[in-house]
Chains A and B, each alone.
Chain A
């Protein structure tokens, strides 16, 4: 990919807006279309684009395999952890009302916090798994040769 200067330059310009848009979709999911799942996919696309253009080995230096693996586990852990936390605080599993300081009068605050946290967990797991799957496939196929473009 060393010769494809157009692709390299355009990719460098695009990656930051892609990840930024992913974060917007992540945290704006309560208000508009989107949420953790879509945001995770978009952020993963940014990383995969980087890996496609600059090579898998470079991408693995930026985001090593063990980081992605750990992040995938942490996403599920955050989600389920919110459920356990609400149980400890006296509610049912995933009953976000109890995350609020006052579950009776300000239950809505607990709901907002709960949705924010579990969406973060969803985004983390989805993004990591997508990158993980790509690493797996790109690892066995090797880099894309110049003549294949």
Chain B
């Protein structure tokens, strides 16, 4: 019962935050609200017993990306340009996609259903053999680091490539600007 109340509160706040993000044109407030959105999503993941995902969402979504968006904001305008005409086509696309997604949830198995396809494929194998093969209490870590080690290597390389990409785009500046931005004390 209390879980439903928490879910309802979180979802209500999520909808309010989403509407405010669309409505506001002050970009600083929008970035802060998107951080709040991530934090609320992290709360929802906790209610779904997925602390590992919630942890990542809180750290990456609410933490790092907010800071990086603020860094980006510092080099662009503070306010979004006002658009006069109402945009019907994007609204129609969003409404149609939303309806399709809601229609798709009707076919999904009930949350926590033991017979759901996701639970019957490889999950039982991991749960049964982790204590024997890996012997770590957190099965998520066992799957990520050992059973799916090659996938995780790929993910780390993706993160590394993102860093290399940013460095290639922003890291090489003219020496004059470099001295100017580095010399100033904040």
Contacts and interface: CB of A to CB of B under 8 A. Distances in A.
Contact of B71 (A33, A37, A107, A141): A141
Nearest to A124: B156
Given A41-B59, A108-B135, A57 B160 contact: no
B173 A128 contact: no
Interface in A18-50: 25, 29-35, 37-38, 41-42, 44-45, 48
B181 to A, nearest CB: 5
Given A30-B138, A57-B183, A111-B133, A129 B159 contact: yes
Given A48-B67, A115-B136, A136-B170, A57 B55 contact: no
B149 A118 contact: yes
A37 B86 CA distance: 42
Contact of A133 (B141, B162, B186): B162
Which label, helix, strand, loop or mixed, suits the secondary structure of the B interface? Answer: helix
A96 B146 contact: yes
A56 B153 contact: no
B71 A134 contact: yes
Nearest to A93: B150
B138 A32 contact: yes
A87 interface: no
Interface in B118-134: 133-134
Interface residues of A, number: 63
A82 to B, nearest CB: 9
B167 A136 contact: yes
B163 A94 contact: no
Contact of A128 (B138, B150, B157, B163): B163
A41 B145 contact: no
B134 A56 contact: no
Contacts of A25: 55
Contacts of B152: 79, 118, 122
Nearest to B136: A30
B145 A115 contact: yes
A7 to B, nearest CB: 11
Contacts of A93: 150
Interface string B30-56: 000000000000000000000110111
Contact of B170 (A38, A128, A140): A140
Contacts of A15: none
B74 interface: yes
Interface of A: 1, 25, 29-35, 37-38, 41-42, 44-45, 48, 52, 54-58, 60, 65, 69, 72-73, 75-76, 79-80, 83, 93-94, 96, 107-108, 111-112, 114-115, 118-119, 121-122, 125-126, 128-130, 132-134, 136-144, 148
22 contacts: A31-B137, A33-B52, A33-B54, A33-B55, A34-B55, A35-B144, A45-B63, A45-B64, A57-B182, A73-B160, A76-B157, A83-B149, A94-B150, A114-B146, A115-B146, A118-B145, A132-B166, A133-B162, A137-B71, A139-B178, A140-B170, A142-B180
